[in-house]
Structure 1
Amino acid sequence: MSEEYEVMGVYSHSTKYEYKVGERGSRYRHGTFWFVRKRSDDMFEVRPLNAHHVPSGVSRLVSHEDFLQYYTPELAYYQENTMPCLDNLRKKVRMGRRYFNMGQLERAEQEFCDAVLLQDDNVDSNMGLSEVYAEQQQFTKLRSVLDKLMNIDEVFREEQRHKFNEFGINLRKKELYDDAIRFYSKALEVNDEDENLHFNIARAFYSKDLIKECRKHLRRAIDINPKMNEAQLFLRSVDKDIAFEKEMRRKEQEGRAAIARGLKKRSRNDAPESKRIKLEF
């Protein structure tokens, strides 16, 4: 699957359309405006524009035949409204990332928040906010943004895979293991055939000492890609840890049994002479 779809621009729908846009939909003299991307020769993705002239909300797929019949290009509107707003959105996300990398968390938060106001389901700005809140240890805000991200389908699309994978790694590195597991689990619901996702969620489970779940995902990663050396090495290391712990428990049990036998023998030896004679007699 291609990582980038061809942007067709903004189109208006020429007739009354049954698809409900919701409160974020903007209606103009030409009807509802849609941001269009070409998914294939036979399929187009249309997404409604919000009041800030940028795509936001649920997208849908339209066949080539319906697209030609019902959608009309709005080149002037796209150039005068949507393009400048998208450029402004990208600038705010870029500045937010720059401030974050410089350690200026408050300024980064402001830029990401401004971007969210323009497009509330923007993936990059919400991920950026999550990283800011994680760094600031503002966990209530972090969980709120994570909950939003879990409900944005755009996050878990194929072309976003490298972003959400890196995002989950950052959560784990900050020792937010439960959040990382929740994020990777959602990603696996969308694509269970990604060995890297299984490997990374296995590391999060391992950090929580949930070894059974860790092994399950490592084995799944190896099933998908038998040549994934990292998963094989990790699984062998985990199995060695398990064997070592079993051996330690066995020696501990043997030690306790030996102590118990010693105490029992000492108890018999310390018994009164008369009692011992009776027992021996």
Structure 2
Amino acid sequence: MEDDYEVMGVYSHSLKYEYKLGERGSRYRHGTFWFVRKREEDVYEVRPLNANHVPTGVVKLVSGDEFVQLYTPELEYFQQNTLPCLETLQKKVRLGRRYFNLGRLDKAEQEFCDAVLMQDDSVDGNIGLSDVYAEQKEFTKLRAVLDKLLNIDEVFREEQRHRFNEFGINLRKKELFDDAVRFYSKALEVNEADENLHFNIARAFHGRGKCDLCRKHLNRALELNPEMVEARSFLRLLDTEAATAEKLLKKAEQGQRAALQDRGIRKRKAKLASKPIRFDI
């Protein structure tokens, strides 16, 4: 949760909410425990805790009046349960990333798996697992985690932009172009007016050989930001590639025609050579 929102702590609620948390939800008195962050002056973000005392990805925004009337601070619970668990979760993610950078993929996978067990929709834990599986070429596991990430709304929130952007770039660099396209397509559903997302998905489409779609997203990026030098350079590259491909195609066609003509000449010569020579006596 690396953003500028102010963490208020854990609060209990006096009424039962309509959320159905399942057996993993931790019940408390007449409701549940909620992890609270202040987004704006009069807007609070509340997220129910799971059985491991850490917040889930289910987010609800409440007004200041509603928050004051219905939510009660639970400082002791936060200090004794949620805070230590959050620190453990962050430690596992850091260790997983450290092991990954050292090339110790088995240890990295173990730490990221532990993080996901604590918080099923952990953005960092699931992205870490995806990086491990991509490196191990465990594509079935990778796509299972990717499917989960595509359904975690928090992945694509504004404050997570640098994370999901880096993740998509890593997929493309590993030549997992289809997966990168899926990821960036989901991000564009959340924020279509982001020129960088259009540029990045254009690169993924280029890797797939889909130059028409690549050009489409580059043009959209320039509509959003006419000063985007990278997009203009990429379009020039596409023009150069297209011109080169056309020249190669013409050369190949010329070669085929020449080969057919040469074959026809050889056939005619062979036919003439096979005719008997007649002499007048």
TM-score, with normalisation over the residues of structure 2? Answer: 0.89
Structure 2's unaligned 5+ residue stretches are: 273-281
Partner of residue 225, structure 2? 225
Contact kept? 1:3, 1:158, Cα under 8 Å = no
Amino acid at match of 1:192: E
Contact kept? 1:24, 1:56, Cα under 8 Å = no
Amino acid at match of 1:227: E
User: Does the C-alpha gap of structure 1 residues 220 and 3 become closer, same or farther in structure 2, counting only changes over 3 Å?
Assistant: farther
Contact kept? 1:10, 1:77, Cα under 8 Å = yes
User: Does the C-alpha gap of structure 1 residues 266 and 105 become closer, same or farther in structure 2, counting only changes over 3 Å?
Assistant: closer
Percent of counterpart pairs with the same letter?
67
What is the alpha-carbon distance in structure 2 between the residues aligned to residue 131 and residue 224 of structure 1?
31
Amino acid at match of 2:37: R
What is the alpha-carbon distance in structure 2 between the residues aligned to residue 110 and residue 271 of structure 1?
76
What is the alpha-carbon distance in structure 2 between the residues aligned to residue 265 and residue 105 of structure 1?
64
Amino acid at match of 1:148: K
Structure 2 residue matching 1:200: 3-state secondary structure: helix
Contact kept? 1:168, 1:183, Cα under 8 Å = yes
Matching of residue 203 in structure 1 with residue 203 in structure 2: yes
Q: CA RMSD in A?
A: 2.1
Amino acid at match of 1:138: E
> C-alpha displacement at 1:12, in angstroms?
0.5
Partner of residue 279, structure 1? none
What is the alpha-carbon distance in structure 2 between the residues aligned to residue 267 and residue 128 of structure 1?
66
Worse-superposed segment, 34-43 or 259-268: 259-268
What is the alpha-carbon distance in structure 1 between the residues aligned to residue 53 and residue 177 of structure 2?
38
Worse-superposed segment, 220-229 or 248-257: 248-257
Between the two proteins, the alignment pairs up a number of residues equal to 271
What is the alpha-carbon distance in structure 2 between the residues aligned to residue 249 and residue 58 of structure 1?
55
> C-alpha displacement at 1:206, in angstroms?
1.0
What is the alpha-carbon distance in structure 2 between the residues aligned to residue 266 and residue 15 of structure 1?
93
- Correspondence list, 1:258-277, <5 A: none
- Correspondence list, 1:71-82, <5 A: 71-82=71-82
Structure 2 residue matching 1:21: 3-state secondary structure: coil
Contact kept? 1:50, 1:56, Cα under 8 Å = yes
> C-alpha displacement at 1:172, in angstroms?
1.0
What is the alpha-carbon distance in structure 2 between the residues aligned to residue 266 and residue 116 of structure 1?
72
Structure 1 residue matching 2:44: 3-state secondary structure: strand
Structure 2 residue matching 1:103: 3-state secondary structure: coil
Worse-superposed segment, 126-135 or 25-34: 25-34
Partner of residue 18, structure 1? 18
What is the alpha-carbon distance in structure 2 between the residues aligned to residue 108 and residue 258 of structure 1?
60
Partner of residue 234, structure 2? 234
What is the alpha-carbon distance in structure 1 between the residues aligned to residue 235 and residue 228 of structure 2?
11
1:25-80 Cα deviation digits (max 9, x unpaired): 21123531101111212221111000111001411111222111111111111111
Structure 2 residue matching 1:20: 3-state secondary structure: coil
> C-alpha displacement at 1:265, in angstroms?
7.7
- Correspondence list, 1:1-281, <5 A: 3-29=3-29, 31-257=31-257
